[in-house]
Structure 1
């Protein structure tokens, strides 16, 4: 069990592994009272010193939830055939997951502004990264800075062995035989 968890953890892309680790460590640090949430919040004074502008327009001090919903939105759009189950109550396709989470937040009485912001940012990212470049005359507007590609792109590493990309629900149409036809035996 521990070995498979470690293998799964090490097979995550570096940025995903870093973000996941940071979320877990930050949560533990807050829960164990090593830091308070107000020591790690979004500080509007830093907007003018370091040009931080995401939360300025929506008056949010904690952006982690919006970022998580954004990641859920992008994942759900890239995996449209994955079947989801919400607490055993309802089944749906993955693209509906952000909306189900938004409805659940609403039922719990939480503000949906954070979820809506995450969905909006996720949609813009998905459109600019996956949809627009595939259109006639489209191009990739979002490009990874070269220094990040240099640091994190491990294609030249002979030990790098990424998992094959899986799209659950996909089918290998055309790789079989004609229905009713006997297989050829050579």
Structure 2
């Protein structure tokens, strides 16, 4: 079994693999009471005024305690992050990391609007949204119950997440991720190609990265 798991992990592209590993390890650490969510959440006061800058990173790796909602988010984020990294960002690891890094910065700056301590779910919706816009004609089967076209996938997942969590805050965070994902799609697929006519620092990673 360990050999099978190791082989499966090595097949996952590097950025998605690192994100998956850090997310699982973070939730396991909380589950084993090695750390508490109070040590991981993000707020401007805690991160910058109280000199706890790690919160700006850990907020993107904690998907909550191991539960149905955790499995739901981990499955869909890993599935579509992997497909996006293997297709649109194949052999462009730095560009994919840059997408997630700039999206994380946007989410941190917008987080006061929704007052969410954890932004992992919001960031997970960025690659889901971008993949759905780049594959508009692809049919998606949701749990084998019904089929939708790819552009409707993010909204369907937002609705399902709302049903599972039972609170509007989960939907607000996911919708914020969709909004940031839309900005990422616009910058890369519309603005840089149709308005600028080439790469920009917003659409592709800096050379130093």
TM-score (norm 2): 0.61
Confirm or deny: 8 A CA contact 1:77 1:95 kept in the other structure.
Answer: yes
More displaced stretch, 18-27 vs 53-62: 53-62
Task: Give the deviation of 1:110 after TM superposition.
Answer: 2.3
Aligned length: 148
Question: Against the structure 1 CA distance between its residues 33 and 127, is the aligned structure 2 distance closer, same or farther, given a 3 Å change threshold?
Answer: same
Q: Which has the greater radius of gyration?
A: 1
Shift in alpha-carbon separation, 1:128–1:113, aligned structure 2, 3 A: same
The residue that corresponds to 1:157 in the other structure is: none
CA–CA distance in structure 1, aligned partners of residues 113 and 154 of structure 2: 22
Higher relative contact order (CA 8 A, sep 6+): 2
Residue pair 1:132, 1:139 contacting (<8 A) in 2 also: no
Structure 1: tracts of 5 or more residues without a match: 149-186
Equivalent position SS for 1:135: helix
Q: Does 1:131 align with 2:190?
A: yes
Q: Quote how far apart the aligned CAs of 1:17 are.
A: 1.6
- How far 1:66 moved relative to its partner? 0.4
Task: Within 5 Å, give how 1:86-165 maps onto structure 2.
Answer: 86-108=142-164, 109-111=166-168, 112-135=171-194, 137-141=196-200, 142=202, 143-148=204-209
Distance 1:56 1:140, change over 3 A: farther
Q: TM-score scaled to structure 1, two decimals?
A: 0.67
Structure 1 runs (4+) greater than 6 angstroms displaced: none
In 2, the alpha carbon distance for the partners of 1:137 and 1:43 equals: 36
Structure number with the higher helix fraction is 2
